[in-house]
Amino acid sequence: RRFLASKEQFHAYLRARGEPGGQAGSGGEEEEEEVKEKKEEEVGSCQSEPPAKRVRLEDLGQDEESQEDAGAEKEPAERKRARGQNKNRPCMKPTRYEQSRLCPSVTQGCAEKCYFGPRCRFLHDVGEYMAAKPADLGCSCVLFETFGKCVYGVTCRFAQAHLGDGYQNIVNTDLAKQWEGKSLVRNNLSKDLQHQLRKRKFSFRKADEYLRGLAKPHGDGGKGGKATGCSTEEQEVSNCTTPQEGLGDSPECPVLPEQGEGPRTDALQSPGLTSGEEASSNKTVGPVTDEDIIKLRSCEKKKLEIQGKLYLAPLTTCGNLPFRRICKRFGADVTCGEMAVCTNLLQGQSSEWALLKRHHTEDIFGVQLEGAFPDTMTKCAELLNQTIEVDFVDINVGCPIDLVYKKGGGCALMTRSNKFEQIVRGMNSVLDVPLTVKIRTGVQEKINVAHKIIPKIREWGASMVTLHGRSREQRYTRGADWDYIAECAKIASPMPLFGNGDILSYEDANRAMQMGVSGIMIARQVPVGALIKPWLFTEIKEQKHWDISSSERFDILKDFTNYGLEHWGSDTQGVEKTRKFLLEWLSFLCRYIPVGLLEHLPQKINERPPYYMGRDYLETLMASQNVDDWIKISELLLGPVPTSFTFLPKHKANSYR
């Protein structure tokens, strides 16, 4: 209780930068703050601060009636504040924080071979670039110190660590030789493959064969043909694979590739079904093996042996490669890439393929695909099977967001059993690695359907199911139904079933394992989870509550920053991309309550703590839910933000200004 504070005390303490006796700001500062708040309210570009967090009044010995009154008054405001996403949040483009950019050909040491020639819009004069370049952010470059060479040269924001006379890039030859020929990050999209996908020249031999089998019994071009995909090129570009009215099609309608006027099918497959022989002839080079003729049986596939292991869930936006490296270091056994949309992968979009990248430390790694139709999902599975290294492929049948659900993907597949079956069977037939499925309890809150679907998924050929103990309507709120998960685990046997939901501490993990599940998946959670407590994996393995200090938590952020600079680059664009993902992560990290401040262990689900002072200034700063305070933390790691920098988290409930 000695750590409790009011909202005013909390912000005054942070404004005073943690100095004793500096809790009350000067009158000028207060007036300035009031003017700033009024301006923000008028503009309406950011959210207002939520009402002061209430301490439980009975704990403080106050009247229960006054508690009810206060709760009744403030509840509507809280409920309204916590809903939705910041869909129109500002986007910082590279041109906004770097006006004069150096041509990549100069950075790579081949200025005379500039691809654009005299039409190039970038600078070729290094001296002119250095005169306009912002000041360096530090005196040590993580790329130079780790690999002996920084590929970003003069554009690196830490260039003073490796620039010699005449802006020459210094190379530590001995250190560089140690990394020579080693592949640190796999599953990159090559230019050749991207060209094949964009020109629709990639061969989908196995997928085409499976889709022809689906089309044979129903060749009349009925309503089912319309439901299989979009019929216009514009819909393909917008990732929409179905007309809106097609969502209600009966599950009896199968996929019908190429029904007369469907340019979409030509767009997604190689030379099409009519030129299947040409596609296969292009692929077959060298001796014919048994694998080319004899289909791989399910019992011959590589087994997914992850029972009892800790599984880091695929986390959209925040589950990037640097974050997965952090979790791997703390004891995560299985990692999975962020959800990737199959149509974007088939189009060769670089941003979508970036979600499939795998660090060499990720020994058990999978990718998660989202799609609504058998043709795109089966082809995407075959594409990944031939081009990247993964240990399993996961189908997302648990995504609750409207954008995915309304197109028939995510949770909607639970209500489209025929399409769901065709997707699972099709993907399983073209993959050489195990196929897993992630589902929810159902779509509606009080109508559980997972227990009916799980036996079918096992029959269709999936190797494992992960069950999130909430329905689509519950989204990420309410408690997960572990009794129902235990019931489904018995039904799923002998197929492994992983449980997901409300794993906040090692006690929760122990209780979950006693329910009979094969393992547990640790995801974002509303108040706590891997995003808020990445060291949760260590706590579970060591069976303890870790009272981690603010300096240790800051070191974790420092490691994330270094991993981010390695992954996204140490030039201005790479630094700002690292900052963006750091701020997104801080929107979850701020919800962590230090163990040493809790009256009762462990922290409970959906607990909203009152304002509190940490044991030092840094701990208090990390507890702030104010975006400006997160930006302060990012500046401690990545230097000052660019002029006119703005940031809003993805979810409205995560922060205020």
pLDDT in tens, 386-415: 999 999 999 999 988 888 999 999 999 999
Residue 482 has pLDDT above 70, yes or no: yes
pLDDT band per the 50, 70, 90 thresholds, residue 297: low
Residue 250 has pLDDT above 50, yes or no: no
Of 619, 553, 609, which is closest to residue 18 (Cα–Cα)?
619
Instruction: Tell whether pTM > 0.95.
Output: no
First and final CA of the chain: distance in angstroms? 27
Question: What integer pLDDT is reported at residue 408 of this predicted model?
Answer: 93
The continuous run of DSSP H or E covering 77 comes out as helix 64-81
Instruction: Please indicate whether residue 116 or residue 539 has the higher confidence score (pLDDT).
Output: 539
> How confident is the model over 108-131, as a mean pLDDT?
84
Cis peptide before 527 (omega within 30 of 0): no
Q: Is the dihedral of CA 558, 562, 568, 573 positive or negative?
A: positive
**Residue 330 Cα distances to 412, 542, 581, angstroms:** 35, 11, 19
Lowest mean pLDDT among 49-58, 63-72, 261-270, 638-647: 261-270
Of 533, 652, 518, which is closest to residue 593 (Cα–Cα)?
533
Lowest mean pLDDT among 30-39, 289-298, 581-590: 30-39
Other CB atoms within 10 A of residue 91 CB:
8
Give the three-state DSSP class for 253: coil
Give the three-state DSSP class for 141: coil
Count Cβ atoms within 10 A of the Cβ of residue 286 and give its class: 0-12 exposed, 13-18 middle, 19 or more buried: exposed
Instruction: Please indicate whether residue 43 or residue 433 has the higher confidence score (pLDDT).
Output: 433
Give pLDDT tens digits for 564-599.
999 999 999 999 999 999 999 998 888 888 988 888
Task: Write out the two tokens for 302.
Answer: 């590589």
Residue 59 has pLDDT above 80, yes or no: no
Strand-pair partners of 656: 626
Give the pairing type, strands 497-500 and 464-468: parallel
CB 525 within 8 A of CB 503: yes
Phi, then psi, of 14 in degrees rounded to 5: -70, -35
CB 412 within 8 A of CB 398: no
Count Cβ atoms within 10 A of the Cβ of residue 256 and give its class: 0-12 exposed, 13-18 middle, 19 or more buried: buried
Radius of gyration, CA atoms only, the chain = 27
Give DSSP secondary structure letters for 487-523: HHHHHHTTS-EEEES---SHHHHHHHHTTT-SEEEE-
| Percent helix, strand and coil across the chain, each to the nearest 5 | 45, 10, 45
> How confident is the model over 301-317, as a mean pLDDT?
87
Told to judge if 230 belongs to the known catalytic residues of this protein, a careful annotator would answer no
Who's near 478: CB < 8 A, 6+ residues apart?
Answer: 470
Of 330, 336, 338, 375, which is closest to residue 354 (Cα–Cα)?
338
Give the pairing type, strands 185-186 and 358-359: antiparallel
CA geometry: angle 318, 416, 222, nearest 5 deg? 125
Q: 156, 253, 336, 399: which is the annotated catalytic residue?
A: 399
CB 14 within 8 A of CB 612: no
Strand-pair partners of 395: 369, 437
Other CB atoms within 10 A of residue 606 CB:
12
CA geometry: angle 48, 594, 602, nearest 5 deg? 105
**Residue 484 Cα distances to 449, 468, 487, 526, angstroms:** 11, 10, 5, 20
Other CB atoms within 10 A of residue 527 CB:
21
> How confident is the model over 137-163, as a mean pLDDT?
93
Q: Where are the domains of the chain?
A: 104-186, 310-546, 548-656
Question: What integer pLDDT is reported at residue 529 of this predicted model?
Answer: 67
Other CB atoms within 10 A of residue 346 CB:
24
Give pLDDT tens digits for 170-226.
999 999 999 988 889 999 999 999 999 999 999 999 999 999 998 876 544 444 443
Cis peptide before 494 (omega within 30 of 0): yes
Of 529, 469, 507, 513, which is closest to residue 600 (Cα–Cα)?
507
d(Cα 489, Cα 492) in Å, to the nearest integer? Answer: 5
Of 572, 564, 561, which is closest to residue 95 (Cα–Cα)?
572
**Residue 80 Cα distances to 8, 47, 470, 475, angstroms:** 23, 11, 22, 16
**Residue 647 Cα distances to 47, 90, 346, 625, angstroms:** 12, 7, 32, 13
Lowest mean pLDDT among 97-111, 128-142, 278-292, 576-590: 278-292
Cis peptide before 20 (omega within 30 of 0): no
**CATH, range 310-546:** 3.20.20.70
Question: What integer pLDDT is reported at residue 229 of this predicted model?
Answer: 38
Give pLDDT tens digits for 614-633.
899 999 999 998 899 999 99
> How confident is the model over 17-27, as a mean pLDDT?
49
